[in-house]
């Protein structure tokens, strides 16, 4: 008898330990697991497998390996609209300094073979957890909606290849074509429990540019026998700052950031070259192409003035796969706004301004014929931290900061509530 009781108790424990049993608690467990096991862009193997398995347990028809480690989960529920909800999976090469008990300590190998610390510093772990919570809610409340729900776990957002690869791999052809595409992104400026939304242009064009500045190396004691690329690089970096401030109209948004400078090996050696990595951000094609052509003109002009021979002029290499600006369909945003009022209350939602961050979710809204697409901001900042920062004028850690730590529980709960209700309202709107 005792043995049977023990057996039944063990069975009950096994069942209740399933992720889908106690939703709030287990969503936090899932989040912490994802947070402490981040994977870089194009390396999202563990994450995609784990989430694909959980989605299958909920009854979704799941396909893996779409555009890399992309996952598409389809739930058919009668005749109706098709709604796609997307979350991104990749983390960043950042060493986490948040001090959280579940902070990432992982290192992984990046695309050029270096070992780097890895962290979910852009909150994609929150996006995935919200998607899974929404998946669970939609599967367990099928009487509230009808149609085709398509959940997408996208790889490689941070390097802006994932969305493009999934679309190329047939995302909009192998599954019913969505009537709406939805996504959210955590915000490091909005309090947890609140949502920001914005119709129209919302996020910027982002280009990555490499510049190779060449010179003629030699001994640090005999600079007159060299063409020093370090000094030239210093001039180039300063001059690049004049493109936005002097050449682009003051009311046109644009940003140019030099994010990486690498050159030289030792105190007393003048190297042969220095490499720079830049991001350029803009909204219009004119500003984008003006900035690129100015970079080419300035770098070449400064190399000439430094006496660099023509075969060693700087190379400006534009990565051809850029992230296009995100356009939020205004009608869809209006529908989301009224849904959010219902789900989290009008006091918790507000209109935000466009930002210069980029998001390759913009690609989802560019595939012809255009699908109405919108992304909204999910507040992630702890209430007390938020109020303290306002009072004391202390800046909050931004996205991609090693200190960015969302207030996970209210953020996730708000995300699931708002996203599930938005999907249900869109499924139920009049055709
Ligand atoms: Zn990011
Ligand atoms: Zn992100």
43: closest CA among 86, 93, 97, 2?
93
Which bound ligand lies closest to the C-alpha atom of 187?
2
| CA dist list (Å): 266 to 150, 219, 221, 269 | 54, 10, 13, 6
Q: Catalytic: 402?
A: no
- The CA 94 to ligand 2 mean position distance, Å, reads 14
Q: Catalytic: 409?
A: no
Catalytic residue (one of 158, 207, 359, 425): 158
Query: 207-318, what's its fold?
Result: Alpha-Beta Plaits (3.30.70)
According to DSSP, the β-strands at 180-191 and 81-88 are parallel
Q: b/e map of 182-194 (b: 16 or more CB within 10 Å)?
A: bbbbbbbbbbbbb
Which bound ligand lies closest to the C-alpha atom of 326?
2
Output the pLDDT for position 18: 59
- The CA 397 to ligand 2 mean position distance, Å, reads 14
Output the pLDDT for position 20: 67
Which bound ligand lies closest to the C-alpha atom of 124?
2
Output the pLDDT for position 321: 72
Question: What are the per-10-residue average pLDDT scores of the chain (431 residues)?
Answer: 50 50 77 98 97 96 98 98 98 97 96 93 98 97 97 94 96 98 98 98 94 98 98 98 97 95 97 97 92 98 98 93 90 98 97 94 94 98 96 95 98 98 94 51
Which bound ligand lies closest to the C-alpha atom of 400?
1
- The CA 205 to ligand 2 mean position distance, Å, reads 14
How would CATH label the architecture of 2-204+327-428? 3-Layer(aba) Sandwich (3.40)
Q: pTM value? A: 0.86
User: Per residue, what are the HEC states of 293-339?
Assistant: HHHHHHHHHHHHHCCCCHHHCCEEEECCCCECCEEECHHHHHHHHHH
- The CA 57 to ligand 2 mean position distance, Å, reads 27
Give me 163's structure tokens.
């969305």
Calpha distance 85→83 (Å, rounded): 7
Give me 199's structure tokens.
């119709």
Output the pLDDT for position 111: 82
Calpha distance 149→62 (Å, rounded): 12
Q: Token pair 């998607």 is at which residue?
A: 131
- The CA 377 to ligand 1 mean position distance, Å, reads 13
| CA dist list (Å): 238 to 26, 48, 209 | 51, 43, 16
- The CA 399 to ligand 1 mean position distance, Å, reads 7
- The CA 185 to ligand 1 mean position distance, Å, reads 9
Calpha distance 375→333 (Å, rounded): 9
Contact 214, 273 (CB under 8 A): yes
Catalytic residue (one of 44, 88, 148, 179): 88
What are the residue boundaries of the structural domains of the chain, listed by start? 2-204+327-428, 207-318
């Amino acid at each position: 008898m005792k043995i049977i009781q023990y057996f039944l108790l063990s069975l009950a424990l096994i069942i209740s330990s399933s992720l889908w049993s106690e939703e709030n608690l287990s969503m936090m467990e899932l989040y912490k697991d994802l947070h402490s096991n981040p994977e870089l862009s194009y390396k999202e193997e563990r994450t995609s497998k784990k989430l694909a398995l959980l989605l299958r347990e909920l009854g979704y028809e799941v396909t893996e390996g779409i555009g890399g480690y992309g996952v598409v989960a389809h739930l058919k529920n009668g005749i109706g609209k098709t709604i796609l909800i997307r979350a991104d999976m990749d983390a960043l090469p950042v060493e986490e300094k948040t001090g959280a008990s579940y902070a990432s300590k992982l290192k992984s190998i990046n695309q050029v073979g270096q070992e780097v610390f890895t962290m979910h510093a852009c909150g994609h772990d929150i996006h995935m957890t919200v998607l899974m919570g929404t998946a669970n809610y939609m599967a367990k409340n099928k009487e509230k909606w009808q149609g085709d729900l398509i959940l997408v776990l996208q790889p490689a957002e941070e390097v802006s290849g994932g969305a493009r690869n999934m679309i190329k791999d047939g995302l909009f052809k192998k599954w019913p074509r969505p009537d709406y595409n939805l996504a959210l992104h955590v915000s490091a400026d909005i309090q947890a429990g609140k949502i920001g939304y914005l119709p129209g242009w919302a996020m910027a064009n982002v280009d990555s540019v490499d510049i190779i500045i060449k010179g003629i190396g030699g001994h640090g004691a005999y600079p007159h026998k060299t063409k020093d690329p370090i000094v030239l690089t210093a001039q180039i970096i300063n001059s690049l700052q004049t493109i936005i401030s002097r050449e682009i109209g003051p009311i046109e948004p644009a940003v140019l950031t030099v994010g990486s400078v690498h050159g030289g090996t030792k105190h007393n050696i003048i190297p042969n070259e220095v490499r720079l990595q830049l991001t350029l951000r803009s909204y219009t094609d004119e500003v984008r192409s003006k900035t690129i052509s100015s970079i080419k003109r300035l770098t070449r002009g400064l190399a000439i003035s430094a006496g660099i021979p023509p075969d060693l002029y700087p190379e400006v290499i534009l990565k051809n796969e850029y992230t296009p600006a995100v356009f939020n369909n205004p009608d869809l945003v209006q529908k989301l706004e009224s849904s959010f009022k219902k789900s989290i209350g009008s006091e918790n939602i507000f209109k935000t301004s466009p930002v210069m961050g980029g998001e390759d979710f913009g690609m989802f809204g560019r595939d012809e014929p255009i699908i109405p697409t919108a992304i909204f901001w999910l507040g992630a900042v702890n209430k007390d931290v938020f109020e303290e920062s306002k009072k004391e004028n202390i800046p909050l850690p931004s996205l991609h900061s090693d200190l960015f730590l969302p207030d996970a529980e209210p953020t996730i709960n708000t995300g699931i509530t708002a996203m599930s209700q938005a999907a249900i309202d869109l499924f139920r709107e009049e055709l």
